[in-house]
Amino acid sequence: MSRKLSAWPLVVVIIITFFSCQKGAQVPSEPENPIEVAKSYFESNVVNLKRDQLNQSNKFGFDVNPIWERAKVKKIQSYETVIVPLVYTSRISTSSNGGQTKRIFRSYPFLSIFRNKSGKMTAEVVYEILSDNNPKEVFDGNIVVTDWEGNIKRSFLYNNGKVSRTQVSKSDRSVINETVTCTVTDYYQDVYIGGVYQGTTYLYTKTMCIDDGGGAPGGGGPVGGGDPDYGGGSSPDDSNIAPVVDAPPGDKIVNIKDYIKCFNSSSGAKVTIYVEQPKPGTRATHNWMNPGHTFVSIEQTVNGQVIRRSLGFYPGQSVDPFANPSTASALVDNSTHEYNVNISVNATPTQLQNVLSIISNFRAVYNLNTYNCTNFGIDIANAIGLNVPSTKGSWPNGGGCNPGDFGEDIRKLPGASGISANAPLNTGSCN
């Protein structure tokens, strides 16, 4: 009996050793996914913060939604930063002349989530506002950084990669200071009721000032301060930027039948397809927000007089893939418009009749994804016997035929030219 009891301590030791080995053999847990950590922080601590009173001098912002499926991790200086594209819930337009003329706001903001120097999670909204002449090799434009509530934290101006301190404030149109250069911008937002566009409403006016050495008025903060510098002397990644097609830049053709009435449909004519590619020589669907353009011209000699008309298919108002991809269409005079690729065909009378029919009966709706300027150009190209494919590319929240792919398809055709130039002026008239 005593011999059996003496075996129990050994059994206990074996059991303890077994479980100790099991514990030591556990596989270490997988490291946390930084995007999931950032999303959890945002949804728990940030998203419900109020975004109102943006007309105040120290605020700047718009209604935006994050696109988490396009989030990525990026190293900015010493910060591991989660970058999340943001999209406007409604199209934003701007004006620098008191609302006399408006253009779409050329900025696609992003959400930046990182741990600051103290290890605290921080969320910022970054508006990278490209200048009209951004050189592409380096970032050129304005950067405004706010918190989720729209409070301005800091702002910069990059000119050919060189940074200047800026301030953003409530509008003061009488600002005069020898050391400060200011730009006053009015912001507007599209209004929809039941999905039907009703027009634009004024949001607020902001003044952005470049401090040339003597200080600047209003809110905002100086460059730096230990937080990420989002310009950094290099261009932002355009993979998350969607193309924007502005309302017609030229003269709308009010009466298309009157515009093309001088052509004799019983005779042949030279029809030219022009393509302005976003990035010449590539199939890129857009370059930052520029999607390029496709347009056509017809040239015919009638009674010894050269008749020439150029035109393109446009949205009646600006469109983008998120807020508003579709709108009523318009035809526009595209004489002198730039191009990178073109091809001309001597069309037969029958082919010319088909071209004129496509133009006269142009589609009433422009849709960035399903029928845009390139679809219109492809229809005319096929009407004159080119038989080009309807190659489709993609962009954030959409995709379709585009000048990048179409230009490369045209380049493959015999007789195509890849010389960059501007379309000739319209010529000729008739009663």
DSSP classification of residue 278: S
pLDDT digits (tens, 9 = 90+) for 280-300: 999 999 876 678 999 999 999
| 345 alpha carbon, distance to own chain's centre | 34
| Partner residues linked to 168 by β-bridges | 208
Alpha-carbon span 97 to 105, nearest angstrom: 15
- Spell out where 237-304 has E strands: 269-276, 293-302
Q: In 3D, which of 56, 228, 69, 68 has the Cα closest to residue 149? A: 56
pLDDT band for 14, please (50, 70, 90 cuts): very low
Q: Which residue has the higher pLDDT, 177 or 338?
A: 338
Residue with tokens 């200048």: 131
Alpha-carbon span 95 to 279, nearest angstrom: 28
Three-state SS letters, 128-197: EEECCCCCCCCCCEEEEEECCCCEEEEEEEEECCEEEEEEEEECCCCCCCCCEEEEEEEEEEEEEECCEE
pLDDT at 307 over 50: yes
pTM of the predicted model as reported, rounded to 2 decimal places: 0.67
Tokens of residue 199, six digits: 């027009």
pLDDT digits (tens, 9 = 90+) for 95-133: 888 877 777 777 878 999 999 999 999 999 999 887 766
Q: In 3D, which of 429, 425, 268, 265 has the Cα closest to residue 360? A: 265
Percent of all residues in the chain with a pLDDT value above 70, rounded to a whole number: 76
Q: In 3D, which of 167, 268, 259 has the Cα closest to residue 220? A: 167
Mean pLDDT of the chain: 82
Helix (H) or strand (E) holding 3: helix 2-5
DSSP 18-31: HHHHHHHTPPPPPP
pLDDT digits (tens, 9 = 90+) for 213-252: 444 333 343 344 567 878 654 445 555 566 777 767 667 8
Residue with tokens 């230990």: 226
pLDDT for residue 253: 94
pLDDT at 34 over 90: yes
pLDDT for residue 173: 47
pLDDT for residue 49: 82
In a 13 Å sphere around the CA of 90, the CA atoms on its Cβ side amount to 19
pLDDT for residue 94: 84
